[in-house]
Structures are given as structure tokens and as C-alpha cells.
Chains A and B, each alone.
Chain A
Amino acid sequence: MGMTMTQKILAKHAGLDIVVAGQLIEASLDVVMANDITGPMALPIFDEMSKDVFDKDKVVLVPDHFTPNKDIKSATNSKALREFSKCQCLSNYFEIGQMGIEHALLPEKGIVVAGDAVIGADSHTCTYGALGAFSTGVGTTDIARGMADGKAWFRVPTAIRFNLINQPNAYVSGKDIILHIIGRIGVDGALYKSMEFVGDGISSLTMDDRFTMANMAIEAGAKNGIFIVDEQTRAYLTAHATREYIEYSADEDAEYEQDITIDLAAIEPTIAFPHLPGNAKTISEVEAMDDIVIDQVVIGSCTNGRIVDMRKAAAVLKGHKVASHVRVMVIPATQKIFVECIKEGLAEIFVESGCTFNTPSCGPCMGGHMGVLAAGEKCVSTTNRNFVGRMGHVDSLIYLASPQVAAASAIKGCIANPMKVGNN
């Protein structure tokens, strides 16, 4: 019997010709990544197993969550990570100033390439599936072990195949598509499974759209999300990769637990209501409700802080002012994107319209800093989770949306349709 794309990558990294769903394997890893929350906690565990990291080029540390450090405790943790990186001579430690949000930074730096097997001590590590890699989030002990010997245990997953057909309209992005999908299958709809994205519709999605979609595979409970490698992927890898890459594709007779066809042309701008990413509502449904007046908008994160996201948000905001009762944080995900925003005039559009324009950080996404919510406040956010208390007070409400919906909502002061904002 044939293997899925994920199974083929896992088989190769386990040194096996074939693997089957449910099999427990030990795989060799190409990249082992941690951040300033999971990394410092891993260090004492690492010490119990090893003196040296298995490969100073493959262990990647990115202090991005509570940085620039928000308090003394987080500064102490970052310091431990910094000292460890120096002591181990890691080639991929990124201090603020070179730093970006990990899941935007690693592809941009060419650290992850197609065909890799990657673990990261962050649940959104599944992002790199957009490049045709197997990548998944793990916890601290797994990452400490990976740092020590470059290996991890996995249960080989089954898969759901998503056949994407047709093209989305100009106001529908990867975010709307993935919120639509999670709305359809539920927040545990892909539990323990791979989400494999195939089909002609993929050619109409930018790499940034694909990163957004793979990023949120975890919000459907998936082990990983993965896209076929096409011309756009190859062009991206040619521009960024620091290593040779390997293209994998599923066998023709690969077994999928479920096949789901997604007609991209039929998807509307989609918003996930509190308190689950699966509470999806179309913009038409929202427009039929009473106005949902908001207090804050966040445009950024590992989900939607890339340059295409910035361009789309700026195109909506251009010539408009943010509603007077709304605070707007724009947070480009990496230093490179930050500079591109300046060069392309996007930063000016954000600031002129009344947004803040911030240094790369996970910031408010997990209620860390740079925009924590008070009781009763409502926020439209391009981030990935709208759980109770995720962005601050347990009585605050988060609505997940695309950069275009977020920008339109910032202007109108309530959840708004970007198609109806109009150009000034």
C-alpha cells in the first residue's frame, strides 16, 4: 500500500522503506527549534541527557514571545537562552535586532526546506508544512531530547486530503480558507492526523497564504499540515534555502482517511468567534447581526505577520483613519518584513491611519505584552487562537480574522467587510 506525503518523509527520516499509520518510529531531525518560553525550561532537562547539542547548525533558538523582554523573569529566561547559545556556539540564535517570530523567520532564513523533518517547542511549528516539510510542535522534554541527540519518537499519522479547487476572490486569503476548513471539521477534526493540501487551487495561493494555512493545522488538532511542492515553492526555496531540498509527493495509492474538496471560489471572508477557532462565521452572517463594536485590532503574529499580509492590510487602510475608539497594533513578523514595510510605504500608511507599527514579537497574541485586553474588551485579531483569556482578561473576547477583515474593522470600529470599505 502507498504512503502519504507525510508518511514518506517520516519513513525516510526513520531509515525505513515503508511505514504504516499507527507505527511508532524514531526519526532523525533536520531542525530542532525552541523559543524563550520553552527553551529555558528545556535547558536543565537537556543537561540531564547531554553536554553538547547534537549539531550546532540544526538547533535553532529564537527569543520571540516575551521579547523585547517584558519583565525581570522573562529577561532572566532570555539571558539563560542567550548564554546557552553562546556556550554551545549555535549558528542559529537570533537576538532582537535580527530576530523575527520563529515561524516567519525560519523559512525566510532558509533554515527549513522541503523534505525536512522538524520539531519545534511551539505548537505552530506546523507552519513549515507550507514548504513541503514535515514539521510539528512538541513540548519541552521532547525538544531537550532533540537538542541532545537529534531524534524524536512519532506515531505515524493517518491523513485527511484536502483537494483545493478554483480560485479565491481578491478579499479571501489563506486565513479565510483555513478558518473555513476548521469551521467545517472542528477543532479536533484532524486530531493526531496529517492535513495534506493538494489540488489545482493551490497555484492561486501565495506562499504566505500557505504558511497561514499550515500554521493553523494545529487548531484542527492536526499533527501537521503539508502542501504539495509546486513552482511557487521551488521559487521560494531557490530564493531562501541554505541547503539542498527534497521534493516528496504522496503515492498514487496512498490511503487517506477522508477526502474533502474545498471550492476556493465559494469561500467568503470568514471570522472565528469566541472562544474556539472552529466557531467560523462568514462575513455575510456577521453583516446580518447587530454591529459587533470592537476596542482593539491586532495585525501580525506567526499566522499573519508576513509581507503579503502587511500589503493587504495597508491596501485596505490607505487613505482611511482608524475609528477613534479602536487601538490598532501592526506587528510585522521579522526584521526583513519590517524593512520591506518601510521601503514599500506600508509603514507610513499604518502610522498615518492611526495604527501603531511595532518591532517583531509574538506580543499580544498570547496575552504576553504589547496589547493585553481588559475585562469586557473585544478584539479583532489576525492571530490564531481565541480561547478564554488568551489575550488577557478571561472576560475579553477575540475574533480571529484575515488582515483585510482586521483592517476594515479597524476603520469601521466594528467587525466589517473589507469589500465595503471603499478606496479613498
Chain B
Amino acid sequence: MKYGKVFKYNDNVDTDVIIPARYLNSFDAKELATHAMVDIDPTFASKVQLGDIIVAGKNFGCGSSREHAPLCLKTAGTACVIAESFARIFYRNAINIGFPILECKEAADDIEANDEVGVDYATGIIYNKTKNKQYISQPFPEFLQHMIEVDGLVNYINNKKG
């Protein structure tokens, strides 16, 4: 089990704070990653380490359809986002690019900033090493689970063709 440090945010983290529109004149993933979360947490991009985890409240990723949002978080090294709920376009964008997201109210409420957390993606069980607790997330439908396994929609479609 790999564990990552938690960055914790509130409800309604919108795509404008995840990656502000002023940076959308580029879709270079590495460049976008340097601005991740800048309008809500200016130090995120410099502090985040490979495998760290974002935990937030309700409606994470609300707002625009910009795929730049999950892409910049994934490229910055974030392993996954755990939230009470996700805005629907962010939800499908994340799945489409093979970026794991987990819905779990109990985890979203209980996990605190800097906790060390790991996820078993096969079972959807979230482990909190710091608090020695575990939480069970909503499992994905089989179709979406498969899409995450093959790292997104492009591979899924191409595999189907082949």
C-alpha cells in the first residue's frame, strides 16, 4: 500500500480555482501543473509530492468543463481525489483521463490535512494510517472501473476497435 499526504479543502472547489482561465491559453500538462490550485492554495503546486491525495467536501470540480482541471492535478503528482461528491463533468473528465476519484462522505468528513492516506482501488477501501482508520468508498460501475484500469477513454475506445 502506497500512502500519500493529504491536502484538505472545503465544499464546492470549482475549476476556476483548480486552474484559472488565465492559464488556459496552454494545454501543456506540465505547464498547467505548475499552476494547480493556485487561486485557493498558492503553495499547493510547490508542496505536492508524487502520490499525495486531495480530500474535499461536496461538489468538487464544479464549474467549467475544462479537462485541464483533473489533468493538472494528475500531472502535479496527485494520486487521487476523495470527496463527498463530485461535479459531473469533473467526474467524467477524471475517469476519461484515468485519474482516480473516490466518493466517500465519511472519509471526506474524517480525514484531516497532512494525514497519511492510502487507497486500495480494487476494493475502494481508503486507509488512514495517521488515525488508524478505514473507510469504504462507493464502488464504480463495472464499465467505469474498466475505463480507469485501461487509463482512460482513448485506450478503451482503441481496445474496443482492436
- Which of A153, A155, A188 is close to B85, meaning CB atoms less than 8 Å apart? A188
Whether B59 and A41, one on each chain, are in contact in the complex, defined by CB atoms closer than 8 angstroms, is: no
Q: Is B74 an interface residue (CB 8 A)?
A: no
Which of A74, A139, A140, A389 has the most chain B CB within a 10 Å cutoff? A139
Which residues of chain B from 110 to 153 have any CB-CB distance to chain A below 8 Å in the complex?
A: 141, 143-144, 152-153
Interface residues of A in 192-210 (CB under 8 A from B): 192
User: B62 is contacted by which of A38, A188, A192 (Cβ under 8 Å)?
Assistant: A188
> When each residue 14-29 of chain B gets 1 if its CB lies under 8 Å from chain A and 0 otherwise, what string results?
1011001110111100
Asked whether A221 lies within 8 Å of B25 as measured between CB atoms, the reply is: no
Proximity string of chain A (181-192) to chain B, C-beta cutoff 8 Å, 1 when within and 0 when not: 000000110011
Chain B residues, CB < 8 A from A218? 89
Chain B positions 78 through 106: 1 when the CB is less than 8 Å from some CB of chain A, otherwise 0:
00000001011100110011000000000
Among A65, A77, A144, A188, chain B packs the most CB atoms within 10 A around the CB of A188
Is the Cβ of A153 less than 8 Å from the Cβ of B39? no
A133 at the interface (CB under 8 A from B): no
Which residues from chain B contact A276 at a C-beta distance below 8 Å?
Answer: 12
Q: Footprint of B on A, CB under 8 Å?
A: 24, 37-38, 40-41, 45, 48-49, 65-66, 70-71, 73-74, 77, 120-123, 125, 137-142, 144-145, 148-149, 153, 155, 187-188, 191-192, 218, 221, 223, 276, 366-368, 385, 387-390, 394
Q: With A and B bound together, what is the CA distance between A142 and B25 in angstroms?
A: 20
* A142-B96, A187-B12, A388-B40 known; A149-B157 Cβ under 8 A: yes
Give the total of B residues in contact with A, Cβ under 8 Å: 38
Are A385 and B25 within 8 A (Cβ)?
no
CB-defined interface of B39-80 with A at 8 Å, one 1/0 digit per residue? 110000000000000000011001111111000000000000
**A49–B157 touching, CB < 8 Å:** yes
* B65–A385 CB distance below 8 A: no
A41 and B68 contact, CB distance less than 8 A: yes
**A to B CB contacts below 8 Å, 11 in the list:** A38-B66, A123-B64, A139-B65, A141-B154, A188-B59, A192-B88, A385-B16, A388-B17, A389-B16, A389-B17, A389-B20
Q: Is the CB of A137 within 8 A of B65?
A: yes
CB distance from B7 to the nearest CB of A (A): 17
Closest to A46 in B: B154
- CB atoms of B21 and A139 under 8 A apart: no
Query: Cβ of B27 and Cβ of A41 under 8 Å apart?
Result: yes
B65 engages A138 (CB within 8 Å): yes
Chain B residues within 8 Å of A45, by CB: 154
Chain A's closest residue to B68 (CB) is: A41
Task: Choose from B21, B24, B89 the contact partner of A123 (Cβ within 8 Å).
Answer: B89
Contact A73 B12 (CB under 8 A): no
Q: Are B63 and A385 in contact (CB under 8 A)?
A: yes
Question: In the complex, are the beta carbons of B62 and A139 less than 8 A apart?
Answer: no
Residues of B within 8 A of A139 (CB): 65-67, 89, 92-93, 96
B65 touching A38, Cβ below 8 Å: yes
Which of A49, A73, A141 lies at the interface centre, i.e. has the most chain B CB atoms within 10 A of its CB? Answer: A141
Separation of A141 and B16 alpha carbons in the complex (Å): 19
Question: When the two chains form their complex, are residues B16 and A368 in contact, meaning their CB atoms are under 8 A apart?
Answer: no
CA distance A145 to B87 in the complex (A): 21
Once A141-B93, A388-B39 are accepted as A-B contacts, the answer to whether A221 and B87 lie under 8 Å apart by CB is yes
> Which of A144, A191, A368 is close to B21, meaning CB atoms less than 8 Å apart?
A368
CB-defined contacts of B64 to chain A, threshold 8 Å: 122-123, 366, 385
Known contacts: A148-B157, A221-B88. The answer to whether A141 contacts B26 by CB under 8 A is no
Give chain B residues whose Cβ lies under 8 Å from the Cβ of A366.
Answer: 16, 21, 64
Question: Is the CB–CB distance between B157 and A142 below 8 Å?
Answer: no
Known: A24-B141, A120-B65, A191-B88. 10 other contacts (CB 8 A): A24-B143, A24-B144, A123-B63, A142-B153, A188-B58, A218-B89, A221-B62, A368-B21, A387-B14, A388-B16
> B141 contacts which chain A residues (CB < 8 A)?
24, 155
Residue of B whose beta carbon sits closest to that of A389: B39
The answer to whether A153 touches B143 (Cβ under 8 A) is yes
A145:B154 contact, CB within 8 angstroms: yes
B59 contacts across to A, CB distance below 8 A: 187-188, 191, 221
Say whether A142 contacts B92, CB under 8 Å: yes
A144 contact set on B, CB distance < 8 A: 154
Rounded to whole angstroms, the CA-CA distance of A38 and B93 in the bound complex is: 12
The complex places the Cα of A48 from the Cα of B97 at a distance, in Å, of 14
Q: Evaluate contact between A41 and B21: CB separation under 8 angstroms.
A: no
With contact pairs A41-B68, A139-B65, A139-B92 given, residues A367 and B22 touching in the complex (Cβ less than 8 Å): yes
* Nearest CB on B from A218, distance (A): 8
Closest to B31 in A: A73
Give A125 to B152 CA distance when docked, in angstroms. Answer: 23
